[in-house]
Structure 1
Amino acid sequence: MLTQLAAVLRRPFVLDVRAMALLRMAVAVILLTDLAIRSTDLEAHYTNLGVLPLHVLFERAWNPYQFSLHTSSGIWEIQALLFLLAAALAVGLLLGWRTRWMTVGSWLMLVSLQNRNPMIAQGGDDLLRMLLFWGIFLPWGRVWSADAQGQPALRQYSHFSVATVAFVVQIALVYVCTAFLKNAPEWTTEGTAIYYALSLDQVLMPVGRLLYPHYELMRWLTHLTYYTELLLPVLLFIPVATNFFRLVFVVVMFGFHIGISLTLFVGLFFLISFAALVGLLPTPAMNWLGTKFGPGVRRVAAYLREWGQRLPGWLVPLQVQMQVQWHPRIPAHPQFRLLPVLRNTVLLVLLAYTVWWNLDGIVTPRYTMHQPLRWFGYLFRTDQHWGMFAPAVFKDDGWYILEGRTNDGRLVDLYRGGRPVTYAKPASVMALHKNDRWRKYSENYLFIDNEWMRPYYCNYMRRIWEKDPSHKPLRHLDVVYMKEVSLPNYQVEGPTRQVLCGCEP
């Protein structure tokens, strides 16, 4: 009886190893994409010539429990080598070659990279980091990987462990916690949160512009968003018809994140969320996908194997002689049983710690996690906060002008390639930002607590401008913010010109 009850209770936490393999590959592709985007700002964001030199990082934005290989040097050449190392590890993870080591290495490099410049971090970074962290303990290299070459075929694809429990709980926490943190009237009673979100020109996407005139629809979508995040994760823990309810969760949340990505500029967050949802695909869904796409995938794999045989052996990570087994065969002897027990105990403690961290700030102060206990979260970067547009949506909006005065007295806007300064709102404020990292930087730049950032940004932009011999030298540069406050009923206050910082040669 107890055995049957245990089997029922564990159903919500059984994952398909093929879905986990897709999760592994999706995470690897996102890592490579993230590195590619970040590499375009190698000097700006990661060197001493950029907006956050090392001495400023350690003085203003460093946690003593953190670590970062990227802080070993402030020159771009070292940063480039570290980027290449991270990319090589991500490729190894994609191929499933020595998967566990590639996962650990990718996680370490990601933590190191994120710690180097916390002023450009966003919510998706937390989720990507946690997917890699739990991936260390998941068998996501058991199939569709170099490690799987030569291993016996699995009799079943279902897998249950403490790590799968942690993964499912982590996904649920992302949505439930962000719903609990959205406790402002705009979310809970008024239904105006999406109206205010789409009033933010800095993140407004084209589909958002189409949606913005429809006030009642936005009010309805606000309530739908709030209750979807709050209640839908319950489906992940229903022990009957588990595959059906999990598939409903995955499909609905896929549509949810597609909607977000089409209306708001959220960087890689929606792709990272897609990757997490892929890991939840139930076995019937994976069987269907195998029927539809399996033959084509096998043809591609056969071609790659044929192509790989033409290369020298030391260049081919898929060769059998380089394989490792995820589950080495250990003799059934009592002295070997201690390791799984210790591993599961550690994972349970890590899961409890993660849940406590997430609930801190939501539950009563009596259960707050005190500072001496937070060292582990900061050191291993299991710290996380899912306050997306919470507790309320920002009302302050606006756009930047890099107002430079040339030696002959003309005012030029560095943000717009040196054209004459105009204070009119641009057609697309979002287009002023090169990527989401710069958008997040500009958001943090506004806060009074981050006022220390401003001189470094101003001087960096002036130096970059004057590196181009075709640009006229500047006598002075002001970072101007045209502040525009969103009000109810499609009203705005402003814009008002605010000089955030100024610098001279």
Structure 2
Amino acid sequence: MHRRWIEWTPARTLFGIDLRTLALFRVLLGFYVLFDLLLRARDLTAHYTDQGIMPRAVQIDQLNSGSWSLHLANGPAFFQGLLFVIAALAAIGLILGWRTRLMTALSWVLLLSVQNRNIFILSGEDNLALLLMFWAMFLPLGARYSLDRALSRTPDYTDNAYFSVATLALLIQGMSMYFFSALLKTHPIWVSEGNAVYYALQLDYLVTPFSLWFRQFQGAMTGLTYYVYGLELIGPFLIFSPIFHRTFRTLIMVAFMTMHLAFCLFLEIGLFPYISIVMNLTFMPSWMWDAIAGRFFRKPSPAIILWYDKGCTFCEKTCRILRVFLLLPEATTRPAQEDPEIGAELTARNSWVVTIGDDRFFKAGGLIALLSASRVFRPLAMILSFAPFRRLGDRCYDLVGRHRSGFSRLTTRLLPWRERTVRIGLPTQVLAAVFLGFITVQNISTLPASPFSLPNAFINPRQALGLYQNWTMFAPYPEMNSPWPVIPGELEDGSQVDVYNGRIGPAVFQKPDVVSRVYANYRWRKFLSNLEDNSYEDGPQILALNYARFLCRNWSEEHPDLPALSTFKIYFQVEETPPPGGSKTPKPRLVWSHNCFG
């Protein structure tokens, strides 16, 4: 026992990733893209078209020379919506594991493209998601629980353990976010004072109602400050510890995930906790999957066989796909003609046959039997067992059966047999090693004591590939100002209006009960906070000008029966965070005056 405790874990285990973990990573990454697109689509016109806050001509001037975006090719909402739909289809293909490597590459291209369409609404969430999608292209994400796997006649990966330069890079990338973020937290409020969480939770424009209640507990906030800093600094080393590997990896992985779940309670930061948890789940080791398999399949099941009509490629592919996606690895698929009795019954009933032990099932009953055999999908079997659903299922089966030749032609095009799954070869791994060195140099260059700065020859490809890294989450210290917008204006007839909230009457400068709810969503919060930040700088106020023009257009579109908006002023109520025990007083700050006709 003592020797097991001190035994060193080999590097392949430390830096390898289970293929089932990569399948989970693929699915969760695909769902992230769908969630992200859905949230972005709420402001499709405002954020991504020439009629919004950032016309293409303006955005192009703000991009680095190496940056690019397909979304900048055209300005109407229809074109942007079309790219959103293509990105959603690619994400669905990624979730299903259909032509996985192609779908991953397409998802990365469109994710980078949409981010570069409006860089003033981006946050750390976008940076991390893009990096994870980049590394995903170097990994066999479709080796498990995928259409590629189901349709592969000669699967390449027979062992779940997988190690490559790309797995090393993905895991190091994830922990780099924490480690370099800790190194950038150089202000005394993190270590010597322990007040960083206090200052973070004083940012009323960013925090949740729960934070407004929680910040009365000064001692708890001090403890959380040291916990977050210590976890970010030490956690990345412990998670790769070769001794006590199981214990440390499990504890640190869970600690990071619970930290991000806590962020959901405290801060309005969009999908950042979700994508961070997805990143942490890449550390999920093989023994966890084995334990889950033991929990769900601990009892030996009767033999499960899916019998299909020989020569019907659609039938065979359907059986293979069901076996994979219903999580029935012990099931087998066979042509019914191999067994005379089964073959005769298939012909007589005009139905596939599912045998579980000595029991036989047909048409919709076969699907219900398979769902019942799968512990994950068993509840669905109970629903489909109701007589109306079962009769409907039989009719659908008969309908499909009458057109199976057409479905066979369709699946021949869309779901062709794969002689082998796509292996990740040596050239790809060499390229992954190059990019691993690339991001390491990038991260080191962000440190205050860095001995070098990055030349344009480095920056341009970095921007072109979306490999930018600068993990300044509350570093070197949290913001000290909390702003929210107030925009009073006048219509052509002299009526006073609240332009920001789109209503008649004077704008209210009084502090709302929950400041974070002033913002429509976290993308708008990011844009408006950038607008306020940039207003302190000398030079043209690009964000304020284009936001003001958008407000003029938007008022006319949303209030066609009212006089046109004439003039308005963009104020921000700004609260400076005092030291613990102090009080806050908002101060109005004028950042822009605008005449819609001038």
TM-score by length of 1: 0.90
2:499 and 2:568 in contact (8 A); partners too: no
* 2:180 matched residue in structure 1: 177
Query: Which residue of 503, 525, 550 corresponds with 1:439?
Result: 525
Percentage of identical aligned residues: 30
- The structure with more radius of gyration: 2
**Aligned-pair CA distance for 1:322:** 5.2
Query: Unpaired runs of 5+ in structure 1?
Result: 329-338
C-alpha distance after superposition, 1:198-253 (max 9, x if no partner): 11111111221221111121111111111111111112221234333222121111
Judged with a 3 Å threshold, the aligned counterparts in structure 2 of structure 1 residues 371 and 444 are, in CA distance, closer, same or farther, namely same
CA distance in 1, matches of 2:220, 2:437: 40
* 2:566 matched residue in structure 1: 475
**Aligned-pair CA distance for 1:191:** 1.0
* 2:590 matched residue in structure 1: 499
Does residue 468 of structure 2 align to residue 383 of structure 1? yes
CA RMSD of aligned residues (A): 2.7
* 1:19 matched residue in structure 2: 21
C-alpha distance after superposition, 1:418-438 (max 9, x if no partner): 153221101111111111111
Following superposition of structure 1 onto structure 2, how do residues 304-383 of structure 1 map, counting pairs within 5 Å? 310=400, 312=407, 321=416, 323=418, 325-327=420-422, 340-362=425-447, 364-383=449-468
* 1:395 matched residue in structure 2: 480
* 1:248 matched residue in structure 2: 251
**Aligned-pair CA distance for 1:183:** 0.8
The DSSP-based 3-state class of the residue aligned with 1:290 is: helix
C-alpha distance after superposition, 1:282-339 (max 9, x if no partner): 1121223334566333558999x998994945776998635574346xxxxxxxxxx9
Following superposition of structure 1 onto structure 2, how do residues 450-465 of structure 1 map, counting pairs within 5 Å? 451-465=541-555
**Aligned-pair CA distance for 1:380:** 0.6
CA distance in 2, matches of 1:445, 1:318: 50
* 1:331 matched residue in structure 2: none
Judged with a 3 Å threshold, the aligned counterparts in structure 2 of structure 1 residues 313 and 480 are, in CA distance, closer, same or farther, namely farther
Query: Which residue of 194, 199, 208 corresponds with 2:197?
Result: 194
The DSSP-based 3-state class of the residue aligned with 1:364 is: coil
**Aligned-pair CA distance for 1:156:** 2.6
CA distance in 2, matches of 1:36, 1:314: 33
CA distance in 2, matches of 1:327, 1:301: 33
Does residue 304 of structure 2 align to residue 225 of structure 1? no
CA distance in 1, matches of 2:427, 2:168: 16
2:484 and 2:572 in contact (8 A); partners too: yes
The DSSP-based 3-state class of the residue aligned with 2:64 is: coil
C-alpha distance after superposition, 1:103-140 (max 9, x if no partner): 00000000111111100010011110011111001111
The DSSP-based 3-state class of the residue aligned with 2:585 is: strand
CA distance in 1, matches of 2:408, 2:582: 67
2:488 and 2:506 in contact (8 A); partners too: no
CA distance in 2, matches of 1:436, 1:287: 39
Query: Which residue of 498, 503, 524 corresponds with 1:413?
Result: 498
Identify the structure with bigger relative contact order (alpha carbons < 8 Å, sequence gap 6+).
1
* 1:489 matched residue in structure 2: 580
TM-score by length of 2: 0.77
1:149 and 1:323 in contact (8 A); partners too: no
C-alpha distance after superposition, 1:249-293 (max 9, x if no partner): 211111110111110111110000111112211112122333456
**Aligned-pair CA distance for 1:377:** 0.9
Following superposition of structure 1 onto structure 2, how do residues 247-266 of structure 1 map, counting pairs within 5 Å? 247-266=250-269
**Aligned-pair CA distance for 1:9:** 2.7
- Letter of the 1:262 partner, please give it: L
2:15 and 2:168 in contact (8 A); partners too: yes
Aligned length: 489
Judged with a 3 Å threshold, the aligned counterparts in structure 2 of structure 1 residues 316 and 394 are, in CA distance, closer, same or farther, namely farther
CA distance in 2, matches of 1:198, 1:476: 36
Following superposition of structure 1 onto structure 2, how do residues 59-138 of structure 1 map, counting pairs within 5 Å? 59=61, 61-138=62-139
- Letter of the 1:485 partner, please give it: E
- Letter of the 1:206 partner, please give it: P
